[in-house]
Amino acid sequence: MSSEKTYKKLTTFLLQGVNTFLSVLKILIQSKLGNKLPKAKDKACYVLANGPSLKKSLETHIEKINKSELICVNTFSITDEFTKLKPSYYVMIDPFFWNGKTEVILNTLKAIEEKTTWELHLLVPQKAAKSAAMQHIVKNNKHVKLSPFNYTVFKGYENVAFWFYKKNLAMPQSLNVAITAVFMAINLGFKEIYLLGADHTWHENLHMSEDNIMHTKVTHFYENDAEVKYVPFLKAGNPNVTQKAHEFFDIWSRTFSAYMILERYSKTQNCKIYNASEISFIDAFTRKKL
């Protein structure tokens, strides 16, 4: 082994050691013991991401999907499919859903509160569970059950990370809600997970303006082309600052890396993840047509 390779290997090992120590320390400070997720009732589930291709999946395979346990995300409640499919689990990770006051956010929460007539487990971070928005929903709808989880990102040795993942004390960084939903599906106990609507074709919807502002089209399965417009890509938590190109692609890189981590973690839990999306750039999971 060359001296350069030895140096890189040693540096990586030491860096992971430092990250592991800091991650464990973060868990001791941030994570809450005793958070238990509900148990999966079936062997398999479908995770419904909101990408454009989900429309075709629902049109083609609605009967098959409707017979399975479903996990939906983000703004799914504002669609007609919410009451038709009656998902068992609803996952949110973005703070805008419990802190935001935009029309789409308010409509999403209102729909969950008013439309849910079946048992629905609302999986949100520990901090979100205490928010006024989440408490208002469960207070006014007995069918909605809050299931908080620890969104404590673990970086470091993977075998140590997986131990904390299994205990629901930590999880991978979730720069996209589909990452959270798949992780939750594993820890709920599902042995087969089918991912739908996870197009992740964001690079096809980019536009750089002449004043160097990155714009993107955020598309969902329930929108028509006339409703979709280019919008500036803003930094999380700062609506007045836009992402630069290198930051934009770094986020995507970490997103796809998280799926690779989930694939490795799923194997330790005897779980198989299938990417059954009609269109998808996720290459971490085995592709499978419904």
Please state, in angstroms and rounded to a whole number, the distance separating the CA atoms of residues 224 and 9. Answer: 50
Please state, in angstroms and rounded to a whole number, the distance separating the CA atoms of residues 70 and 93. Answer: 17
| 213 and 184 Cβ atoms separated by less than 8 Å | no
Half-sphere exposure of 199 (CA within 13 A, CB side): 17
| pTM: predicted TM-score of the whole model, two decimal places | 0.93
Which CATH number does the domain 3-202+245-287 belong to among 3.30.360, 3.30.70, 3.90.1480, 3.10.20?
3.90.1480
With residue 274 as reference, give the H or E element that holds it: strand 272-275
Helix and strand totals (H; E) in the chain: 10, 13
Q: What is the pLDDT along the chain (290 residues), one digit of tens a residue?
A: 577 888 788 888 899 999 999 999 999 999 999 888 999 999 999 999 999 999 999 999 999 999 999 999 999 999 999 999 999 999 999 998 999 888 999 999 999 999 999 999 999 999 999 999 999 999 999 999 999 999 999 999 999 999 999 999 999 999 999 999 999 999 999 999 999 999 998 888 888 888 888 888 777 888 776 666 778 877 766 667 788 889 888 989 999 999 999 999 999 999 999 999 999 999 999 999 98
The domain locations on the chain are 3-202+245-287
